[in-house]
Amino acid sequence: MTNRDAGLEARLVAVGVQLVEERGVQALTLREIARAAGVSHGAPRRYFPTHVSLLSAIARTGFADLADRAAAVTAPGEAERDPRAQVERLCRVYLDFARTRGGMFELMFRHDLLESGHLGLRESSLPLFGLFADTVGRARPHPAGADAQLVAGALWAGLHGIAQLWTWGSLRLATGADDVGPLLRTLLDAHLGPDPR
């Protein structure tokens, strides 16, 4: 691939990122991405054989950003001192990402992108879940038979639900809460036990 080709491929992804941030997932048609990139509507197919492959490339940038945010709050040694606080920080990173990058958040968790094993999203998303599960495992050593990955999966499902329902306004309406903090603490207590602090 020439530098020019690599430049156009990167530009198509960057334009897609900008479109999803400004106008949401519905703006991510091949034709609209090509138009915004200033190329013919067939040009993206040279680099991305399917629409889903281009969407996956765009979503990978979201997972990279989320991974960077998670890394910023997981300082070495800190998790061993207070793993529960570490889990809470990771949860807050996730909720903040959903709040500030809503279109990207929606794109990243589309089942049609995640279910394919050849589009690269599993390789982007599974290490993040591994970090989360390891931290959950340190925060709550489980009795025999309890699996940290299952607890982390249940916690993540609740967290994702909070993120989505908060974005839609449903949780504010149902609970009267004006902050996700109490919801997050309740979720953590449910999965990790009461906070000993």
Q: What is the pLDDT of residues 149-168, one digit of tens each?
A: 899 999 999 999 999 999 98
Query: What is the pLDDT at residue 81?
Result: 74
Cα 62 from Cα 76, distance rounded (Å): 24
What integer pLDDT is reported at residue 141 of this predicted model?
67
Tokens of 158: 């609740």
pLDDT > 80? residue 76: no
In this predicted structure, what is the pLDDT of residue 68? Answer: 94
- List pLDDT tens digits, range 117-134: 667 777 888 889 999 998
Q: How confident is the model at residue 21 (pLDDT cuts 50, 70, 90)?
A: very high
CA dihedral 99, 100, 102, 103 (to 10 degrees): 180
Q: What pTM value is reported for the model?
A: 0.88
The pLDDT value given to residue 147: 84
